[in-house]
Amino acid sequence: MATPEAMVEEISKLSVDQLRQVKEQVDGEVSVLQDSLTNIRTAANRFEMANKALKMLSQQPPGKKMLVPLTASLYASGTLANTDNVLVDVGTGYFIEKSLPDGKDYCERKITFLKENHQKLVEVANGKQNAAEQINMVLQAKMRAAGAQAQRT
C-alpha cells in the first residue's frame, strides 16, 4: 500500500476535473461502507437479542403462557410447548429446527462472525475516509492556486 505522501504526490498530478471525479467516487465508496457498517451492527444486535431470548427461554417451564412475535409489532398469545428445540431463522424465509444449545451456539457464531467483519470493514472505511480527505486537500489546494493565478491575470 502506498504511503500517504506517495498518494498525495500521485493525486496531485491529476487535473481539477479528474480530482472531482475521484473524490465523488471515493465519497460514494465511503457512503456504501458506512451503510454496510450500519447493516452489520443491526444484524449483530438482532442476533444478540435472539441469544438473550434463547437464554430466557431455556429458564421457562413448558406450558407457560407467553406472547409470540409474528412481526416486529404484532404478537399473538401462545403456550410454550417445548423448550428443547427452537426454530432458527437462517434467512430468506428458511427456518431450521435446532436444539436449544445449538440455537445459542448458532447465534454466538453469527455474532462473532459479524463483529470480526465489522472490525475489518471499519479499517477499510477509515482508509477510504483518509483517502477522501487527502483528495479533498489536494483539490482545495489546486482550486486556490487556480484562483490566485486568475487574479494575477
Parallel, antiparallel or unpaired: strands 94-99 and 85-91? antiparallel
pTM: 0.75
**Cell numbers of 7, please?**
498518494
Nearest CA-CA partner of 96 in 104, 80, 83, 85:
85
Sorting pLDDT into bands at 50, 70 and 90, what band is 4? low
pLDDT digits (tens, 9 = 90+) for 94-152: 999 999 999 999 999 999 999 999 999 999 999 999 989 998 898 888 888 888 887 87
Locate the DSSP E strands across the chain. 65-69, 75-79, 85-91, 94-99
Q: Is the pLDDT of residue 48 over 80?
A: yes
Write down the mean pLDDT value for the chain.
89
Q: Which residues 6+ apart lie within 8 Å of 33 measured at CB?
A: 121, 124, 125, 128
Please give the domain boundaries of the chain with CATH numbers for all domains.
45-134 (1.10.287.370)
Distance CA 97, CA 53 (A): 16
Q: Is the pLDDT of residue 5 over 80?
A: no
Q: Is the pLDDT of residue 86 over 70?
A: yes
Return the sign of the alpha-carbon dihedral for residues 37, 43, 46, 48.
negative
pLDDT recorded at residue 1 = 53
